[in-house]
Structure 1
């Protein structure tokens, strides 16, 4: 009799465990590779939001960055991702890195993640490199394959007529930082800030951010309208003064299949914990709805995000 009771209890426990597992919602969230802003943003979010939402299993997915995130969202391989606004827009055509692929009609906005600058970094003691024009004839790391960084850096060098004059290298952000420190590349390109690879070099060896002229910034905006001029503050990296450079807006995007209530709860938890998220990575301090600008890219907000914003008076008046 005792053995039967034990067997029954074990069976009940197994059923209960199975039910709990079935009730847990898995969310695969794409960021970037180590050393990139998106990687750390998603890592911090997965840890903090998991505390508030124990029934939602947020898994950080290491990717090449924005381009790969958008492509994998379109294929249904990710539930969420950090994606450049330009990629959301181009995926609707589709054109650029999305040419000949499926249109990104399933992409839905969650929030503006941050505004990201694109800039070129060299060591502080490199007197040969001061401005972007000095990159001609140099070896430059453009970012990891499939990343938004490669996309942005290539666009900028194309607009300035320099892309064909450099020797490009594709590598992770961490590898690019080490390659610069070891003299294997003359400079590396980075999108978004602060970036761990740049911060580390700034603290240990000192870095220099190459400057853009007003004419160059104008050419970039004319060639690619999704860039706008902004100023990276002097507080971003040790020893680097405030610098004007091209910026692009980066969004937190979800696949349309993610249930409305799941997105709503994740968004609510993110705004409740925004200060904590920002302590984990500064970029989270910039999170806001930015509904109108996202919808100009050709896709609507996710119903879960929309419900949260409307309930909290954050939805724009029509």
Structure 2
């Protein structure tokens, strides 16, 4: 009797082990690049991994901390990431092999999933630092973001188009470090892409924050030199004490590597739209998510087949 019981328990344990192994083997691992802590992309990917994982138990989403858009695109091209949050300008430039992608393989493996959000680029300082306009940044210590980030790319473009890039003392640091350095008087200002950004929100809670305004002439110069920027308005509800401000915006996309399984991609996207309110509660940038297929295709890259299937079935496809 005891032998039969032992045999039964052994068989049950073996069956459970086999079933568990089968489930593990059937899981799809997704490495998703965001940014450094304090950046918008970091929190977007973090909340997406948590929320989508609840509905997709067979998909294991891993948040990968990166420098931001530039690094995400480069690592997607190398096959080191499955997904990433990437500026539309970087998708375009990777296909043209220009700018930061001049020495990389062509980005022919990049596939569109959805527009994640539109992100502004702006300079943050504190009351009392004597910085009221962009020209006042000359001879000042200005943090441009972490190396490899889209923020460094955007800030350098903007300052360069205004003839200010050679006039500042550039510093490279993470968003969180930049906020603390500004509060401690170690730098005079820092540049930030996307909003709301945790580093700025936290700084504004205990300091009088200034977002340096752009003049119409400056915005015109930026948009003329870099057509992938457009002028938008950051609302006065973004940061405590900061009024509505016009600034350069760029479109940011959820991008996947071509190797991501079509069905997995389709189900992830369906879950994201079904849970968009929950995603937006985790970070409000997710509230902006939409197909934007026509504009993404205009960059020269195709949509992911799984995403295309979802948009066609839901009547949201446009080209």
After the TM superposition, list the runs of 4 or more consecutive aligned residues in structure 1 that deviate by more than 6 angstroms. none
The answer for the alignment partner of 1:271 in structure 2 is 273
| Corresponding residue for residue 299 of structure 2 | 297
Q: CA deviation at 1:223?
A: 1.1
- Shift in Å, 1:21: 0.2
Which of the numbers 283, 286, 289 marks the counterpart of 1:287?
Answer: 289
Superposition deviation, residue 10 in structure 1: 2.1
User: Which of 102, 105, 109 does residue 108 from structure 2 map onto?
Assistant: 105
Q: 1:38 aligns with which of 29, 32, 41?
A: 41
Give per-residue Cα distances to partners, 1:122-160, cap 9 Å, x unaligned: 01333x101111101000000001000000000000000
Counterparts of 2:68 and 2:294, CA distance in 1: 24
Aligned-partner Cα distance in 2 for 1:263–1:103? 23
Instruction: Give the secondary structure class of the aligned counterpart of 2:104.
Output: coil
Q: Pick from 180, 202, 206: which aligns with 2:204?
A: 202
Q: Does 1:25 align with 2:28?
A: yes
Q: How does 1:109-128 map to 2 (within 5 A)?
A: 109-126=112-129, 128=130
Deviation at 1:206, TM superposition (A): 2.0
Q: Secondary structure at the match of 2:136?
A: helix
2:255 match: 253
Q: Distance in 1 between matches of 2:133 and 2:37?
A: 28
Q: How many pairs were matched up? A: 316
How far apart, CA to CA, are the structure 1 residues paired with 2:14 and 2:55?
30
1:7 equivalenced with 2:4 (yes/no) = no
* CA RMSD, Structure 1 to Structure 2 (Å): 0.9
Describe the superposition over 1:170-218 as per-residue Cα deviations: whole angstroms up to 9, x where unpaired. 0000000000000000000000000000001111112000011111111
Q: 1:1-318, aligned counterparts within 5 Å?
A: 1=3, 2-126=5-129, 128-316=130-318
Query: Structure 2 stretches of 5 or more lacking a match?
Result: none
- CA distance, structure 2, for counterparts of residue 292 and residue 5 of structure 1: 60
TM-score (norm: length of structure 1): 0.98
1:3 offset after TM fit, Å? 2.7
Measured after TM superposition, the shift of residue 299 of structure 1 is: 0.3
